Structure 1
Amino acid sequence: MVVYRYHEVPTELLQDHSYTLREIRLFLSINKGSIFLHKDLNYLDGESRQRVTVVSKDEYFLHQQGERSYLPPLEKTFVYFLSSE
C-alpha cells in the first residue's frame, strides 16, 4: 500500500515529460482505466524515485475477446508508452 498526500498525485501526464515511478503509480491508483506500457519494467514501484519519460499518450478503443464472446469497448482508454531515462 502506498501512502501519499493528495497534492502528490499528478492531475495529468504530459508527453515528453519525466515522472518518478511513484508519481506514475499514484496517477494509476486514481485513473484506473489507464494502461501503461514499458519495454523493460515489469513492476511500477510505488516508493521508487526512478524516473521515466512519457513517450506517447493516446486514446484507443480496446477490443477484447471474453470466454465465449466478443466484448465491444464502451469508451476509449488512455494508453501511455514509457521509457527509462
Structure 2
Amino acid sequence: MVVYNYNEIPEELLVDHSYTLREIRLFLSINKDSIFLHKDINALDGESKHRVTVVSKDEYYIHQHVDRSYLIPYAKKVIYYLKG
C-alpha cells in the first residue's frame, strides 16, 4: 500500500518531462483511463525514486477480445510511452 499526500499527484504528465515511478503510479491511481507502456519496466513501484521520461502521449480507442467477446470501446484511452 502506498501512502501519499494528495498534493504529490501530478495533475498532468507532460511530454519530454521526467517523473519518478512513484509519481507515475500515483497519477495512474487517479487517471484510470490511462495506459503506460515501457520497454523494460514490468511494474510501477510506488516507492521508487527511479525516473522515467514521457516520450509521447496519444489518445486511442482500444479494441480487444475478452473471453471470446469483443469489447466495443466507447471512450478513448490516453497512452503514455515511457523511456528511461
Q: TM-score range by the shorter chain?
A: over 0.9
State TM-score, norm by structure 1. Answer: 0.95
Instruction: Write the distance in 2 (CA, Å) between the matches of 1:64 and 1:49.
Output: 33
Aligned-pair CA distance for 1:61 = 0.2
Aligned-pair CA distance for 1:78 = 0.3
Return 5+ residue gaps in structure 2 as ranges.
Answer: none
Return 5+ residue gaps in structure 1 as ranges.
Answer: none
Aligned-pair CA distance for 1:7 = 0.5
* Residue pairs, 1:1-85, within 5 angstroms: 1-84=1-84
Superposed structure 1 runs of 4+ greater than 3 Å apart = none
State TM-score, norm by structure 2. Answer: 0.96
Residues matched between the structures, number = 84
RMSD: 0.7
- Read off the aligned partner of 1:65 and give its amino acid letter: H
